[in-house]
Amino acid sequence: MSRYWSEVVRGLTPYVPGEQPKLPNLVKLNTNESPYGPSRRVLEALRAEIGDSLRLYPDPASDRLRAAIAARHGVTPAQVFVGNGSDEVLAHVFLGLLKHERPVLFPDITYSFYPVYCGLYGIGYEQLPLNARFGIAIDDYLKPNGGIIFPNPNAPTGCFVPLADIERLLQANRDSVVVIDEAYVDFGGESAVPLVARYPQLLVTHTLSKSRALAGLRVGYAIGQPELIEALTRVKDSFNSYPLDRFAQAGATAAMEDEDYFRAMCLKVVATREKLVSDLQGLGLEVLPSVANFVFARVPGRDGGDIAAKLRERSIIVRHFRQPARIAGFMRITVGTDEQCAGLIEALGAIVKPG
């Protein structure tokens, strides 16, 4: 460790992002990116942004983008916050809304950035175990806390908490913020955004990286009542007043406005996911119920890391998590194109049923 590091840095265990390998003929099913490119309208908006105006700073408030997001969700721009990917939005959420005396509550198997944010900002937290079916047990969260956060559907499991259970949680938890991280909700889940009007403690976060095919542009947003949005804006303006450049704002606005393309791509991914689940089960794999653009699956009695390594030898990469041990047998498999998923099934067949 460097003698110049601060004590905060010395104590950090950083988030480990999904691998971005440079391998030939790679079938990349490990980071939940869209298998399809962004809409034509997005590309046109990006091309139109090239010009002399790049010498000027972008709009610090991202007004056009916030208006497009608000129109899409039936809220007002004052209820929308945008950031450089949902990871930056979540970072501001932890500092601005979840740093209190009582611990933040989130699942023990979930997005692994949550404990990293807590370490970075000195936030106490408690991880609550998923139930035997790898679902979030809402009753476990009905206790004093400094905030609650979980993805819905959860990652990496893909399991979904019904909206009625979310509302039950909100009704019982009015003294701290509840954050529903909806990075994958567009692939079959029901969004909690309509509940924002009735529950001032609710914040819902989204990303354009998955269903809008813009992982490379880095845009995320949050929706909540203006009091929560103001807290996030105060943090942003104390950190970086210009988190979204001109290209990000233009491309994201076009993506939010192209509803037809968005819906078509989501339906395409869902259809491929359902066939993938059926094919995996046909090979004897256990697959958790998913409403995301990935599935969480294991070969009973086999090590998930070993199978992932054998797939890699065939230029197919999926994501494997060693910790916690309870999920060491599972692989998280992104839903790719029909052709990519067919190649995965062929390779898995050779691995799990050789000869």
Residue spans of the domains in the chain: they are 7-37+260-352, 48-258
What integer is the mean pLDDT of 32-41? 97
pLDDT at residue 305, rounded to an integer = 94
Mean pLDDT of the chain: 95
Tens digit of pLDDT for each residue in 235-277?
999 999 999 999 999 999 999 999 999 999 999 999 999 999 9
C-alpha to C-alpha distance for 70 and 204, rounded to whole angstroms: 13
Burial 278-301 (b: 16+ CB within 10 A, else e): ebbeeeebebbbbbbbbbbbbbee
pLDDT at 48 over 70: yes
C-alpha to C-alpha distance for 227 and 79, rounded to whole angstroms: 9
Who wins on pLDDT, 326 or 219? Answer: 219
Confidence bin at 355 (pLDDT 50/70/90):
low
7-37+260-352 and 48-258: identical CATH topology? no
Q: Which CATH number fits domain 48-258: 3.40.50.261, 3.40.640.10, 3.40.50.720, 1.10.510.10?
A: 3.40.640.10
C-alpha to C-alpha distance for 65 and 175, rounded to whole angstroms: 31
Confidence bin at 87 (pLDDT 50/70/90):
very high
Q: Which CATH number fits domain 7-37+260-352: 3.40.50.880, 2.40.110.20, 3.90.1150.10, 3.40.50.300?
A: 3.90.1150.10
Tens digit of pLDDT for each residue in 296-353?
999 999 999 999 999 999 999 999 998 888 999 999 999 999 999 999 999 999 998 7
User: For a pLDDT cut of 90, what percent of the chain falls above it?
Assistant: 90
Find where tokens 């611990």 sit.
103
Confidence bin at 74 (pLDDT 50/70/90):
very high
3-state SS string for 176-225: CCEEEECCCHHHCCCCCHHHCCCCCCEEEEEECCCCCCCCCCCCEEEEEC
Output the six-digit token pair for 171: 């009704």
pLDDT at residue 98, rounded to an integer = 98
Contacts of 202 (CB under 8 A, 6+ apart): 170, 177, 178, 180, 192, 195, 196, 224, 225
**Is the pTM value of this prediction over 0.85?**
yes
Strand-pair category, 202-207 with 220-224: antiparallel
Is residue 63 within a helix (H) or strand (E), and if so which, with residue range? helix 63-73
pLDDT at residue 11, rounded to an integer = 86
pLDDT at residue 14, rounded to an integer = 85
Taking each continuous run of H as one helix and of E as one strand, the counts in the chain are 11, 12
The sign of the CA dihedral 65, 68, 71, 72 is negative
Confidence bin at 1 (pLDDT 50/70/90):
low
pLDDT at 354 over 80: no
